[in-house]
Amino acid sequence: MSVKIAIILGSTRPGRNGEAVARWAQEIASQRDDAEFELVDIADFKLPHLDEAVPASMGQYANAHTQEWAQKVASFDGYLFVTPEYNHSTSGALKNAIDFVYGEWNNKAAGFVSYGSVGGARAVEHLRLIMAELQVATVRAQVALSLATDFENYSMFKPGDHQKAALDTTLDQLVSWTKALRTVRTDA
């Protein structure tokens, strides 16, 4: 039984660099036979600023948009987050999307592909803390794309050859951890 991993595009900004990055990750991931990968664009869900009255940890989602998002998140065994770095953190849109649900994230694994002036490293550090609270195991490897060297004119994505190897390592770890956590999800 194959595991399903979402490649979550974590930016909604017009003209975002993340779309090209997510499609690159999806293209490379789709060549693998150890998991199924699906690109999930948070912009498609049109989530408003968090508007649920009850905390997500209660699992009582009142709004149709939350229920749709919860169903999508729950359908995956693991996640590869594609995140920009804005002001030394992840995007507000991604943080908002994460905060809408809780149990749907639990006992799964996550990896990261980030981009920014320092490769998006600080965005990933914040996401690791958030994932820990959601009971998501994060893998050590990550892809850190520099706006200065992996993008032409800071906008046209042209990753260095070494970035594919970084993505392959991240995916290797993510698939392995995702499969290992299957037993935790089954027992829970």
CATH code assigned at 100: 3.40.50.360
- Between CA 59 and CA 159, with CA 112 as vertex, the angle to 5 degrees is 145
Instruction: Give the tens place of pLDDT for each residue, 120-176.
Output: 999 999 999 999 999 999 999 999 999 999 999 999 999 999 999 999 999 999 999
Provide the pLDDT confidence category of residue 187 given band limits of 50, 70 and 90.
confident
Which residues, in sequence order, are CB contacts of 114 under 8 Å at separation 6+? 82, 83, 84, 85, 120, 121, 123, 124, 142, 143, 144, 145
State the average pLDDT over residues 55-74.
98
pTM of the entire structure?
0.97
Range of the domain at 166: 3-187
Nearest to 96 by CA among 146, 140, 51, 154: 51
Structure confidence at residue 186 (pLDDT): 82
Give the three-class secondary structure for 69. Answer: helix
Q: For the chain, what is the domain count?
A: 1
